[in-house]
Structure 1
């Protein structure tokens, strides 16, 4: 908001009667703000998008401890941020080419993935990551579960992480999850040919209003989070095009059944 208003941190501080250092600390998330202060900032910056302002104001409440805080000393901050992002999302879409989505993974499938991490993880570090991944899945079983769409390439469905038996169990779990009312599973068959973003893993988490959407990308050095307007617009288009080349839900389920039968 400040940047769109064309104000420096110093100018904003003078306008709001606080010093520039405090403005920078608030923007960096080092200091909390009240709902009223959010509204004052928005008014001072000339923002008139009321749904956006009220969504930001609502985020100032209920920010106490959550289950992922138990892992604060054991896991990289990016994994904690991902759990928090999913927890607060109003809807989630993911596109996967090489892996089954983390919110679907069973223990036997997740553990071999973490064993391949570079640098090598110790057994306790592996188990911390596995249990964290399984606990993230709680959002799909909550009283008001988040709507979740998973677009999975056939290559990911055929990867045998953990061996034949684990792969069969994993795919049967994906089929079971696909039958939940709030879960949509779409498969992209090899026959689809080229598709947008080949090789890239994307998670698109919708906020209460579009400006609060966030994109999470997986990288070897950890999670990357994107939230700039142009980035969000690009990945909205990406997800729409990715979904367009996927099979319909029933045909996707049939493909997964076929792969299970081939094991």
Structure 2
């Protein structure tokens, strides 16, 4: 079996969480730019966009989108996966870096990333408006 990249593994874990109805809270904030990037033909891209709102119908999944025209998005332009739980000292942030993935778990850095995520979440569209935007983008393809 070929070795998986961090992104491929992350996507498989996310898919498994949703498909197996694991009830761990999962919050996803995605920028409109990422939704507009096509990695395949129009039909495949429409299918990918349709899958996002479908996954967000699970009670433990919250999907929010940051549209291009939204203010208040400074300092949050790179990918971040924040994995947190009941014991904040065990939280970890995964960042994509040129040489692979960086895992961050120091309390000071976690606090900064936690604050950054909450700010990004606060300026993003609510889940219903996010689904509407994704539907509109799918129709534009």
Same fold (TM over 0.5): yes
Q: Is the 8 Å Cα contact of residues 21 and 58 (structure 2) preserved in structure 1?
A: no
**Partner residue of 2:56?**
178
**Partner residue of 1:74?**
3
Q: Distance in 1 between matches of 2:98 and 2:47?
A: 27
Q: Is the 8 Å Cα contact of residues 207 and 214 (structure 1) preserved in structure 2?
A: no
Q: Is the 8 Å Cα contact of residues 171 and 260 (structure 1) preserved in structure 2?
A: yes
Q: Which among 120, 125, 128 is matched to residue 247 of structure 1?
A: 125
When the two structures are aligned, how many residues end up with a matched partner? 140
What RMSD in Å do the two structures reach over aligned CA positions? 2.1
1:237 equivalent to 2:115? Answer: yes
Q: Is the 8 Å Cα contact of residues 217 and 224 (structure 1) preserved in structure 2?
A: yes
Q: 1:134 to 1:245 in 2, by over 3 A?
A: closer
1:205 equivalent to 2:92? Answer: no
Deviation at 1:193, TM superposition (A): 3.5
Q: Distance in 1 between matches of 2:96 and 2:133?
A: 26
Q: 1:185 to 1:134 in 2, by over 3 A?
A: closer
Q: Distance in 1 between matches of 2:86 and 2:10?
A: 24
Q: Is the 8 Å Cα contact of residues 140 and 146 (structure 1) preserved in structure 2?
A: no
1:261 equivalent to 2:139? Answer: yes
Structure 2: gaps of 5 or more residues: none
Rg larger in 1 or in 2? Answer: 1
**Partner residue of 2:27?**
149
Deviation at 1:141, TM superposition (A): 3.1
Deviation at 1:194, TM superposition (A): 5.0
Q: Is the 8 Å Cα contact of residues 29 and 124 (structure 2) preserved in structure 1?
A: yes
Q: Is the 8 Å Cα contact of residues 82 and 92 (structure 2) preserved in structure 1?
A: yes
Q: Secondary structure of 1:199's partner? A: coil
Q: Distance in 1 between matches of 2:130 and 2:21?
A: 27
Q: Is the 8 Å Cα contact of residues 76 and 120 (structure 2) preserved in structure 1?
A: no
Q: Distance in 2 between matches of 1:143 and 1:191?
A: 34
Q: Distance in 1 between matches of 2:20 and 2:85?
A: 18
**Partner residue of 1:139?**
17
Deviation at 1:180, TM superposition (A): 1.2
Deviation at 1:134, TM superposition (A): 5.4
Structure 1: gaps of 5 or more residues: 1-70, 80-101, 103-128
